[in-house]
Amino acid sequence: MSKNTTDMTVGNPTKHLLVFALPMLIGNIFQQLYNLADSIVVGRFIGSEAFASIGETSSITFLFFALCNGIGSGGGIVVSQYFGAHDTSGVKKCIINTGAIMLVTPICFGTAGYFLSPALLRILGTSDNLLQDAVIYTRYMCIGLLFVSLYNFIASILRALGDSKSPLLFLIVSTLINIILDMYFIIGFRMGIKGAALATLISQMISVVLSAIYAYKKNPYFRFEKSDFSITAEMCYKVTRLGIPLSLQFSLIAISAMAVQRVVNEFGSIAFAAFTATNRIEQLIHQPYGTLSASLATYCGQNYGAKDNERVYAGYKSACKIMLILTAFLVLLMQIGGGFITRLMIDDNPEVIKLAAFGLRITSLFYVSLGMINVIRGILNGLGDAFFTLFNGIVEVIARFTVPVFMTSYLGFGTTGIWLACGIVWFISGFTSWLRYLFYFRLRIYKQNQ
C-alpha cells in the first residue's frame, strides 16, 4: 500500500470521512475561487453590469463542464471499487480507458460551446448590454474545458485511491496565480472581461500540468506498463455506465439552472445581479456538502468492492451527523452575515446587496435538504447506482422548470419566489434521494448476500 493511497475498508468511518474530506473541501473552495475571484475583481473594479455578464455565463459553462466531468467521476468510482478489491491491474486499466475518453469528450463539447455560445445566451434572454462580454467569457471557458476536464479526471482518480491532499496543493497554487493575473490583467492592463477570462484559462492550464506530473512521479498506479495500454469495450462500458448518467444528471441540473435564469431575467438587472451574487456564494456553500458526498462515494466504493455492507451503513450514519452539524453552522452564518458576504462582491448597488441578503436568508432554511441530497448521492454513486443519478436529475429538471414559474407568476411571490423555488427544488430532490436509498441499499445487500 503506497503512502499516497488510503484503504478505507479498515478504521473509523467518521475519521476517514473527515480526514479525506477536509483537504478536498479546501481544494474545492479554491477551485470555486477561480470564478469568484473573477466576480469580485470584475464587480468591484468594472461594475455590477460586468458582474452580471459573468453571471449570465455560469449555467452554460456548468453545462459543458458537467457533460465532461461526469465521465471522470464515473471512472473514479470504478477505480475505487477495483482498489477496494485490491485489483491493481483493474485500477490501471480503468485509468487508461477513462483518460482516453476524457481527451476526446471536452474537445468535442468545447468546440460546440465556442460556436454556439451567442445563440445559447440569447435563448436565455441575456440583455443586449450584457451579451458581448458574456460571449467573450463563455468562449474562453470553452477553450479551457479540456484543461478543467483533465484536471478533474486526475483529481478524481487520486481521490478514488484515497489521496485527497495532493489535488489541494495544485489548486492553491493555480488559484493564487488566477487572482494575481486577475489583478494584473483587469486593473493593470484594463482588459475588462477578457482579462478575467484569460487569467482563469492560464491558471487552469497550470493546475492540470502540475497534477499530471505529480501523479506520474508519486503515485504507482499512474506508472503504466505496456500491457496496461489497452482500450477495451468492457472497461469503457464500466466507466460510461456510471459516467454518462452522472454527466446527464449534472447537465440536466445545468439546463434546469438555465430555466431559472430565464425566469430571473424577466425581473430585470437588479434581480439578476442579486441572483448572481447568491449563486456565487452558494457555490461555496455547496462545497462542504459536495466534498462530503465525494468522500462518501470513495468510502462506499472501496467498502462495496470489499463486500462489507456494515461499513457502508456505518459511513451513512457518520455522514448524516457531520451534515447536520455543518448545516446548523451554515444556516446561522447566512441568517446573520448574508449581507456582509454579499458586500464583499458588490459595493456599488445597495439594492442588489439587500435583495441578495434576503435571498440567502430564504435558501439557507433549506440547506438540510441540500445536505441530504449530497449524502445519499455519495452513497449511491459509491455503490454504482447508475439509474438513480439520471432519474434524480430528471426530477430536479422538472422541478426547476415548473416551481419557479409557479411561485413567481401563479402564486405572485415575485422575486421572493425565485429563492423560495430554489429551496423547494432542493427539498423535492432530497426527499426522492432518501426514498431511493431506503429501497436500493437494502436490495443491494440482499443480492450481495445471496
Cα–Cα distance measured from residue 311 to residue 39, given in angstroms and rounded to the nearest whole number = 42
Tallying the residues shown for the chain, one arrives at 450
CA torsion 242-246-248-254 (nearest 10°) is: -170
Residue 35 pLDDT class (50, 70, 90 cuts): low
Q: What is the mean pLDDT of residues 306-312?
A: 81
Q: What is the mean pLDDT of residues 168-181?
A: 82
Q: What is the mean pLDDT of residues 46-69?
A: 75
Grid coordinates belonging to 237: 462500458
**What DSSP assignment string belongs to 242-305?**
HHHHHHHHHHHHHHHHHHHHHHHHTT-HHHHHHHHHHHHHHHHHHHHHHHHHHHHHHHHHHHHH
Average pLDDT, the chain: 82
pLDDT score of 346 more than 70: no
Stated pTM of the model: 0.69
Nearest to 260 by CA among 431, 39, 420, 64: 420
Write down the domain spans for the chain. 13-449
pLDDT of residue 139: 93
Sign of CA dihedral 406, 407, 409, 412: positive
The DSSP output letter for 222 is: G
Residue 165 pLDDT class (50, 70, 90 cuts): confident
Task: Report yes or no: 404 and 261 within 8 Å, Cβ to Cβ.
Answer: no
pLDDT score of 107 more than 80: yes
- 450 CB-contact burial (10 Å; exposed 0-12 / middle 13-18 / buried 19+): exposed
The DSSP output letter for 221 is: G
For residue 13, the number of C-alpha atoms closer than 13 Å in the C-beta half-sphere is 23
Over residues 413-427, the pLDDT tens digits come to: 877 788 888 888 889
Over residues 120-161, the pLDDT tens digits come to: 888 877 888 888 888 998 999 999 999 988 988 898 888 888
pLDDT score of 345 more than 70: no
pLDDT of residue 355: 83
Over residues 217-234, the pLDDT tens digits come to: 888 899 888 888 888 888
The DSSP output letter for 191 is: -
Grid coordinates belonging to 314: 456505518
Q: What is the mean pLDDT of residues 309-334?
A: 89
